[in-house]
Structure 1
Amino acid sequence: MSVYARIYGDQVFELAKVDGDISKAYHPSMVWVCMDGIAPAPEVGWSAIEVGGAWHFAPPGSPAVTPEQQAEIVAAECFRREGTGVTVEGLAIETTRDSQALIASIGLSAVLDPDYRCNFETAGGFVEIGAAQIITIAKAVRAHVQACFDRKFALLRAIEAGEYSDDMLSQGWPDSSPPAPEELQ
């Protein structure tokens, strides 16, 4: 005897104890999932989600979030935090992926030519900066991005170990508060 759950609207809709495979007795649009070996056994009303061919269940009020989905949430938060910007020597510096690439390229110019100067666009407008300040900015941006990656790595390890909790997502990221309006001048 096997227990099957019928899934409808991302929820366990009904349970049935049957001999054989009940899913073969109904139209394929009716989703029946064998519950044999699934612990804890889901009940009617539980959330149900399929990821990569595997079903995940959670009691009402608890999201049925898989480790893969948790990892995607962490990656999205890391990407968001990575692009929040930093303040360097009073200048509001963008840290989006595009900005990082531009900063890396002017950083290379600064390393190759210690007399290099350029007009650099900050969040508050253009400023003229020299090689030493360019390198300081590049280091600060790199440190900020690396701190984001380090936090992401720690959260992914927690997910793998089964120790992750939702409140961890808002903790441990580098301080990247937006600059005060007077810093944008």
Structure 2
Amino acid sequence: MKPQATSKRWPWVLLSLVVMACSGALAVPVAWAVKTQVQAESGEPAPDAAVAVYLLRLSSGEDAGLRRVLAADRRDDLADQWRAYRAEMSRSGNPPSKLESGPLRVGPVRDGVALVATEVHAVWWQGQVSLSGSRHAWRFEVREDWGGWRVWRVEAPVWCCGYVRVDRC
């Protein structure tokens, strides 16, 4: 009878060894994945960097990476505002090829809050000729949040009547 009792234990012993071996082997990739996710969610190292990402995402029309530079408390509202602005650009009939901004001017940082201002203009490419729209002031309130800088508020001119004529909206 003893051989049967011992033979029934071997699968459990083997399973325990496999679990221990795998948990050690999985610890490194899991730790790397967690570290990468934390870094991806950490915001930007400076106020102007957060604004640059926001404007780049707006210009490209791709929202990949946008949410990480939006303040957590206002993330959904700011993402909706971003999508609405993109929709206005598309609705105008001739969306720009890109948006360009001037220098990003960062005001004094007070209590983890900075104001960033810039001028943004639209660029349309027609063949090999580019047409540049007028410059309009944009203002951002950026806050230090969980170890990185994130956009808290965006003041942008309206697209219709601002960048394009009313009859195109």
* Normalised TM-score (structure 2): 0.31
**Between structures 1 and 2, the one with greater helix share:** 2
Bigger relative CO (Cα 8 Å, ≥ 6 apart) = 2
